[in-house]
Amino acid sequence: MAKIAVLGYGVVGSGTVEVFYKNKENLEKKAGEPLDIKYILDVRDFPDSPYADKFVKDFNVILNDPEISVVSEVIGGLKPAYDFVKSALTAGKSVVTSNKELVAAKGAELLKIAKEKNVNFFFEASVGGGIPIIKPIHACLEANEIDEIAGILNGTTNFILTKMIRDGIGFDEALKTAQELGYAERNPTADVEGFDACRKICILASLAFGRHVYPESVHTEGITKITLDDVSYIDSYNAKIKLIGCVRREDKGEISIGVFPAVIKDESQLAGVNDVFNAILVRGDATGDVVFYGKGAGKLPTASAVVSDIISAVKHSDTSRSLTWADSEQTFVRPFEEFTCANYIRVSIKDSESAKATVKELFGDVEYLSTKGSNSGELAFVTDVMREKDALDKCAGLPDGFGVPVRIRVLDY
């Protein structure tokens, strides 16, 4: 019999327990042995829960119980999750987690401990919620050199952008709706500023390229500055604005990586991903593009990934099958100013003809966009592909009358 402990009885923790007991019989067949959740750790009391007898408040009860072979950490954040996970692995227990902040910050170190102790550290639920993506990259696409990964990795921002695009409501109102529906946190910073997506692309990049990519080395922008004017111009370009986390293999063993709102043409599968859904496109040198789509958050989808990792950990309890990557200096992350893409740019103008001449001088041939509500006092256009640094220099070179240009990168997926 394999005995499991669940750390945290919040949304994902309660979902994990629910899925576990709902499907227990089947899970035991898959694991090849009887299973039970012996402990649930939470600081709160749940006297009316059917699992009331399993609750403990002291992590040491779990750590010091030799019957516990798998610990499921679904608390989130670094404190106290990092200490709990590190101690559990060091004590020879396998750990599964949904905690992207933990994996993005400490993944290399925790994977190393797991390997040394011949136990498993699995984190399928940390990216894409219920979408299988970690195991597929690690185990099904391993014949490929991964050229690029690009994903809509945050459901909250995708919901907000979908509202702006479909219903024509501004960012603030769309955020309020997301909060009312329980998608966005009261403090939405991690979602709307791109930090959550950043942690997720770091995990995918580390996995695909074999070296830990730390969030601090990733250029990260959120969606707070996106306006309905830009949504409308980009609609006329037959494209959508999406918050994209992307990583690209470059030459000399380097990668480019970033999180930012991007213009995605309607023919891309990523452009059709709406509401709280996530999608991750993996471009392999043998497969070409493979796209994973589904619910990237929520109680039961995330619990599905956690429970599936619990089963894998039980099945492979005698060998360390942990995915692995090495710790690293961040020298293989290419400075973002070398990133190349086309750019959507919107500027204020006084006279259209002379403004277009200036634009041509600086940016070369561009494609001008217009919309129903196009303002005669502005120009919107899409440039050719160029380096980030050049795009910044050219924008800085626009004369004063052009105002502060709005720039959104255009990606080709």
Minimal distance in Å, beta carbon 77 to ligand HSE? 12
Minimal distance in Å, beta carbon 260 to ligand HSE? 16
What distance in Å separates the CA atoms of residue 96 and residue 108, rounded to the nearest whole number?
Answer: 15
Residues 6+ apart with CB under 8 A from 401: 348, 349, 350
Nearer to ligand HSE among residue 215 and residue 296 (C-beta): 296
Q: Which of 14, 16, 87, 154 contacts ligand HSE by CB under 6 A?
A: 154
- 101 interacts with ligand HSE by CB under 6 A: no
Q: Which of 8, 107, 296, 301 contacts ligand HSE by CB under 6 A?
A: 296
Check 163, 200, 242, 394 and give the catalytic one.
200
What distance in Å separates the CA atoms of residue 374 and residue 386, rounded to the nearest whole number?
Answer: 26
Chain center to CA of 33: 34
* 262, two tokens: 């991007």
Minimal distance in Å, beta carbon 354 to ligand HSE? 45
Would the CA dihedral through 294, 297, 299, 305 be positive or negative?
positive
Minimal distance in Å, beta carbon 309 to ligand HSE? 16
Length of the chain counted residue by residue:
413
- 230 interacts with ligand HSE by CB under 6 A: no
Cβ atoms of 9 and 17 within 8 Å: the answer is: yes
Q: Which stretch binds ligand HSE (CB under 6 A): 48-56, 110-118, 148-156, 210-218?
A: 148-156
- 191 interacts with ligand HSE by CB under 6 A: yes
**Cα angle 147, 151, 157; round to 5:** 160
Q: Which stretch binds ligand HSE (CB under 6 A): 44-52, 150-158, 162-170, 355-363?
A: 150-158
**Helical segments of 272-377, H only:** 299-315, 352-363
Nearer to ligand HSE among residue 13 and residue 129 (C-beta): 129
Cβ atoms of 10 and 75 within 8 Å: the answer is: yes
Residues 115-144 that bind ligand HSE (CB under 6 A): 129
Catalytic, 3? Answer no
The 3 state secondary structure assigned to 83-129 is HHHHHHHHCCCEEEECCHHHHHHHHHHHHHHHHHHCCCEECHHHCCC
Q: In 3-state terms, what secondary structure has residue 247?
A: strand
- 155 interacts with ligand HSE by CB under 6 A: yes
Nearer to ligand HSE among residue 211 and residue 295 (C-beta): 295
> What's 140's DSSP letter?
I
Of residues 83, 82, 8, the one with CA closest to residue 42 = 8
x-or-dash string of contact with ligand HSE, 307-326, rule CB under 6 A: --------------------
Number of residues that bind ligand HSE (CB under 6 A): 8
- 162 interacts with ligand HSE by CB under 6 A: no
Q: Which stretch binds ligand HSE (CB under 6 A): 40-48, 64-72, 151-159, 355-363?
A: 151-159
Minimal distance in Å, beta carbon 76 to ligand HSE? 9
Would you name the residues annotated as active-site residues? Answer: 200
The residues binding ligand HSE (CB under 6 A) are: 129, 154-156, 191, 196, 296-297
